[in-house]
Every structure is written in structure tokens, then in C-alpha cells.
Amino acid sequence: MKKILLLLSNTGFSQKTVETAFELAKEQKAELISCYVVDERLPESVSSWMIYIGFMGDKPSEEYRKVILKEYRKRAETDIEEVEKMASKEGIEIRSFLKEGSWAEETVKLVEAEMVELIVTSKPKEGQMGKLFFGSALEELMKKAPCDVRVVEG
């Protein structure tokens, strides 16, 4: 059976992306998998941005990093839960994963392990933070992914 991966991200919950993945899973009679990767590099990206705008000094504490990652995990869990509820309402079976590490690398590992044939994900929202962090991660995924990647805008 064909497998489609709905790849969720820290750039925000995209209704359009979720709907696209649901439609494709139904059309292609594919198994749907969702995944949210808590990218270990996000606290450093946030710190760099906050240092740049003068909000904080040049040496964020380890406690700061832990707080950012904790909030990031909570958001991931909430988004996964929301997608699972939406899938249930649509009568779509879904398996979900929460991974930690490099966004692109963890995604590629999951794609290979699950033999996924298509990744559906979102384009970063407008704004410096989304472009700074997610833009480069998306480019990395596009280069490394062993399957097609469909990027949904909006």
C-alpha cells in the first residue's frame, strides 16, 4: 500500500496542508502517516534572532534552551493531536510520530523506514524567523528526500 507522510512543522499548523494530505490519501487509497520533528537547532535560531534584535545578550543559558524545547514539544503534541482528531472525523486512519533531532535528517530516516512515497508539508510563512530556520531545512529535505515532496503554500 502506498504511504503518504504529512510532515508538520514549527512554522504553524496549516489547514490547507492537512486537507491536501487527507485528499491525496483518499484519492490514492494510501496509508497516512503524520510526523512532527522537534528540531534541536530551533533554540539556537531563536537565540540568534533575539540577539540580533537586541533582546538578549550573546550567551543564552542552557535553561533558556530547555524552555524553548519544552514549549516546542508541547506545540508538537498539540498539533499531532489536532491532526489525529481531524483525520478521525474524516474517517482516515493515521499513524503519528514525534521525533527529535535534525528536521530533514529525522524525516528522511522515517521516510526510509516506513517506505513513504510522498511527503506533504508546508512552505514557511512570511516572516524572517520562518524563512531563517525553516527555509534552509526545507531546502535540505528537498535535496535528501528519497521520494517526492509536495510543498503546500498557505
- Assigned superfamily of 3-152: HUPs (3.40.50.620)
- Domain ranges, ordered by start, for the chain: 3-152
Q: Are 110 and 35 in contact (CB under 8 A)?
A: yes
Query: pTM score, two decimals?
Result: 0.81
* Kind plus residue range of the DSSP H or E element containing 139: helix 136-144
Q: What is the pLDDT at residue 20?
A: 96
Residue 55 clears pLDDT 80, i.e. is over it: no
- Look at the block and give the residue holding cell 543559558: 61
Q: What is the pLDDT at residue 49?
A: 43
Number of alpha carbons in the 13 Å side-chain half-sphere of residue 14: 23
Q: What is the pLDDT at residue 41?
A: 59
Residue 4 clears pLDDT 50, i.e. is over it: yes
pLDDT in tens, 87-139: 999 999 999 999 988 889 999 999 999 999 999 998 766 554 445 545 578 88
Query: Alpha-carbon distance 51 to 98, whole Å?
Result: 29
Residue 34 clears pLDDT 90, i.e. is over it: yes
